[in-house]
Amino acid sequence: MDNNKKTKGRQRIDTSKRREREEDRLVTFSKRRTGLYKKGSELCTLCGTQLGILVFSPSGKPFSFGHPNIEVIARRVLEINPRSNENSDGVMDAYHMNRINKLNEKLTIVSDEGEDEKERGMKLAQMAKVRQNKFLCEPKIDELNDYDLPNMKDWLLELHGKINNHLEELIDSQVVGTYN
Amino acid sequence: MDNNKKTKGRQRIDTSKRREREEDRLVTFSKRRTGLYKKGSELCTLCGTQLGILVFSPSGKPFSFGHPNIEVIARRVLEINPRSNENSDGVMDAYHMNRINKLNEKLTIVSDEGEDEKERGMKLAQMAKVRQNKFLCEPKIDELNDYDLPNMKDWLLELHGKINNHLEELIDSQVVGTYN
DNA sequence: AGATCTATCGTTAGAAT
DNA sequence: TATTCTAACGATAGATC
């Protein structure tokens, strides 16, 4: 019989079950997260849309992906609707911004002068072939029959709480020493 | 020559370019969004993790997907850390919750007694084969070397602003009449 | 931990419904 | 406009480095 084959190739796995072996879970997570980002990136490129993905690793570490570059989106929103920072959400955003600014100081130190952030950004940019300019998405959302909205709202609240908890822990546990 | 083939099969497309034909863009968006959700769902099932995806359609309509059921996650977070509603983020959350509650009233009417929310939920549950019980993810996030965090923070802020803008528009434009 | 290789499995373009 | 069908394309399990 012909056993010249170098590998067994891709084998079928049961996608309705959790992978039992710790090692398999980690490898699968790493590979499939990359694949998911690629799919998301392609969807955005092909259809000219915006997208965000947040996923927690098996160890609980959060990963996120935005297309196009998340900072570009954020800046665009502020340019288009500068009052959103002070107007309807004035109280909340003032509080939030202040809080975020303080957290940023810590995070800048933790992430070693933002070196890693830069690295990651370049990696994603390369992978997704993101073009920073020429962004064609509608600036306003005016569709009204939006069945997903209540769900998204809950999701945002949940995410927000999680992020804040994580950031709180970063500060409270004084972990800066772990780096450098 | 053999022309028995029923279709030409999948053809290669340039994933680094926006699809030019409006119709192609819509069909591609619909198909690939489904595929993306499936990939996300599988990633979560295989690795026992949590995930959220937010994507805007070509027409600007937001779609979101959470695994497992987003409400289950939200409830778990509140159970595990009940003080997160009143403690460190007391001011913001009180304001936010009040606001959300008011918005919820409107949305309940808009979405026709939540009929659509239910429909959508069942559809997703079926697709993803979500098992509501037996959820094994860690309750706490204690990893500290998190390079993605600043990025995620920006993303959350951006999303949050967008959602709020959308909700504001829903209320301000008094669109309830479009339904029923 | 992440990159690479290969054979196979799963996704999807185009067409029709 | 979303789903179905088929064949071709792309993603990835397992192994290795």
pLDDT tens for A26-78 read 999 999 998 998 899 889 889 988 777 777 778 766 676 766 543 443 333 33
In percent, how much of chain A has pLDDT > 90?
A: 13
Mean pLDDT of B45-69: 74
Beta-carbon contacts of residue B73 (< 8 Å; ≥ 6 apart): A158, B50, B66
Mean pLDDT of B105-119: 32
Is strand D within 7 Å of residue A8 (CB)? Answer: yes
CATH class of A22-81: alpha beta
Predicted local distance difference test score (pLDDT) of residue B159: 47
Predicted local distance difference test score (pLDDT) of residue A10: 92
Residue A19 phi/psi, 5-degree rounding, is -65, 130
Closest nucleotide over all strands to A43 (CA to C1'): C12
What residues of A are in contact with residue B88 (Cβ under 8 Å)?
164, 168
Strand C positions closer than 7 A to protein CB: 1-2, 5-16
Predicted local distance difference test score (pLDDT) of residue B172: 41
Predicted local distance difference test score (pLDDT) of residue B28: 94
Predicted local distance difference test score (pLDDT) of residue B37: 87
Q: Please give the interface size between A and B, counted as residue pairs whose CB atoms are below 8 Å apart.
A: 320
Q: How far is A12 from chain B (nearest CA, A)?
A: 13
Residue with the bigger pLDDT between B115 and A155: it is A155
Record the pTM.
0.54
Strands of chain A, DSSP E: 51-56, 62-67
Is residue B48's pLDDT more than 80?
Answer: yes
Compute the radius of gyration of chain A from its Cα atoms. 20
> Using the beta-carbon criterion (under 8 Å), do A47 and B62 form an inter-chain contact?
no
Query: How far is residue B78's CA from residue A25's CA, in Å, rounded to a whole number?
Result: 28
3-class SS at B22? helix
Convert A26-52 into a string of H (helix), E (strand) and C (coil): HHHHHHHHHHHHHHHHHHHHHHCCCEE
| Domain range list for chain A | 22-81, 85-134, 136-180
Question: CA A30 – C1' D14 distance (Å)?
Answer: 15
Determine which of A88-102, B98-112, B127-141 has the lowest per-residue pLDDT on average: B127-141
Query: How far is residue B162's CA from residue B157's CA, in Å, rounded to a whole number?
Result: 9
Q: How far is B4 from chain A (nearest CA, A)?
A: 30
What residues of B are in contact with residue A154 (Cβ under 8 Å)?
70-71, 74
* In the block, residue with structure tokens 């098996």: A58
Mean pLDDT of B3-23: 87
At B103, the pLDDT band (50, 70, 90 cuts) reads very low
> Using the beta-carbon criterion (under 8 Å), do A39 and B19 form an inter-chain contact?
no
How far, CA to CA in Å, does A176 sit from each of A33, A98, B7, B8? 28, 21, 60, 58
Mutate one of A25, A159, A168, A180 to test the B interface: name it (highest B CB count within 10 A). Answer: A159
Mean pLDDT of B78-86: 31
Token reading at B169: 């528009």
* Ordered alpha helix ranges (H), chain B: 22-47, 70-80, 90-110, 115-128, 149-172
Predicted local distance difference test score (pLDDT) of residue B67: 66
Residue with the bigger pLDDT between A124 and B159: it is B159
Q: Are A25 and B48 in contact (CB under 8 A)?
A: yes
What residues of A are in contact with residue B160 (Cβ under 8 Å)?
156, 160
State the average pLDDT for chain B. Answer: 52
Q: Are B147 and A120 in contact (CB under 8 A)?
A: yes
Mean pLDDT of A100-107: 34
Is residue A159's pLDDT more than 50?
Answer: no
Is residue B173's pLDDT more than 60?
Answer: no
Residue with the bigger pLDDT between B16 and A135: it is B16
Query: How far is residue A49's CA from residue B30's CA, in Å, rounded to a whole number?
Result: 12
B52: enclosing H helix or E strand: strand B51-56
